Amino acid sequence: MSNGNGRLKLALQKDGRITEESIALLRAAGMNFEFTVRSLFSPCTNFPLDLLSLRDDDIPEYVQDGVSDLGIVGANVVEEKGAKVTVVEGLGFGKCRLAICVPRNGNLTDLGSLRGKRIATSYPKTLGRFLSSRQISADIVEISGSVEITPALNVADATCDILSTGSTARVNGLQPLLTVMESEAVLIANEDVLESRANNEIDRLLTRIRSSLRARGNKYVMMNAPLTSVEKLKELVPGMKSPTVVPLANRDLVSIQSVVGEEVLWEVIEQLKRAGASDIVVTPIEKIIP
């Protein structure tokens, strides 16, 4: 590990787009800590883990160099920095895309039309690799901030920047032309630390994080149903492996329990009711431990 006191270090973005959800994930995984942007270290009181508060651009290299064992950062930052780290897990939040945008109603309408044009970006290495892989030669203008205003200032003809909703691009008269990469928050690890597994603390932490991730977006559904409807209902709620079917005092009825994804919950419930289910109870899930 990166220090000699037997405690892991995990680097977090100190104040930015994914900070709040990163902290929420760790708290959901049972970590007890006080995190402030002014403190470099935030020790967990119930787990051998210290949180390190950093600029997101610094996290991949700190993990690569072993200053921190682990980090939570956007995949776009990992790609741009080219750090030698292992992406352990996609975390499902902070989703966005790195996209090339062009002025609306302009003459830049496809990838080929970017040849010889100026593209402003804070991601010159990622954009350069993308253009090179498609045999497109363009002038990359590296900008540290406010990339979206460069076409209006005649600093660039197009931009390559992070889009979440695309509203900032629209306000500045731009529209997406194509996506360079999709991104989300990822958990990264130092390659040597991950391979050595000198102790089981990383495995313990990963188990907790993954159990919280598996629970997100899922609901626990319980219902009563006629015994004759069990096979049909099992098809509708297969769950993780198979639903739980429990006999009731009334021998003509059973209780069926399963996990259903929240994105299809209401559709499934409607199908369950049509198949004979009743007294349907839906509850949140805190953890799913395989």
Laid out side by side, the sheet with 70-74 consists of 41-43, 49-54, 8-13, 70-74, 185-190, 85-90
Predicted TM-score of the model (pTM):
0.83
What gap in Å lies between CA 45 and CA 41, rounded to an integer?
A: 12
Per-residue pLDDT of the chain (290 residues; tens, 9 = 90+): 555 567 899 999 988 889 999 999 999 999 999 987 777 889 999 999 999 999 999 999 999 999 999 999 999 999 999 999 999 999 999 999 999 999 998 899 999 999 999 999 999 999 999 999 999 999 999 998 889 999 999 999 999 999 988 788 889 999 999 999 999 999 999 988 887 755 578 888 999 999 988 888 888 999 998 888 888 887 887 665 678 888 888 888 889 888 888 888 888 889 888 888 889 999 988 888 87
What gap in Å lies between CA 50 and CA 33, rounded to an integer?
A: 9
Q: Which CATH number fits domain 218-284: 2.40.30.110, 3.40.50.2300, 3.40.50.12160, 3.30.70.120?
A: 3.30.70.120
Domain locations in the chain as residue ranges: 8-94+185-215, 96-183, 218-284
Q: Tell me which residue of 212, 201, 199, 209 sits closest to 49, measured CA to CA.
A: 201
Q: Which residues, other chains included, contact 12 with Cβ-Cβ below 8 Å and sequence gap of 6+?
A: 19, 22, 23, 35, 51, 52, 53, 54, 59, 71, 72
218-284 and 96-183 share a CATH fold = no
Q: Which CATH class is domain 96-183?
A: alpha beta
The domain over range 8-94+185-215 is classified in CATH as 3.40.190.10: yes
Laid out side by side, the sheet with 253-261 consists of 244-247, 253-261, 218-226, 278-284
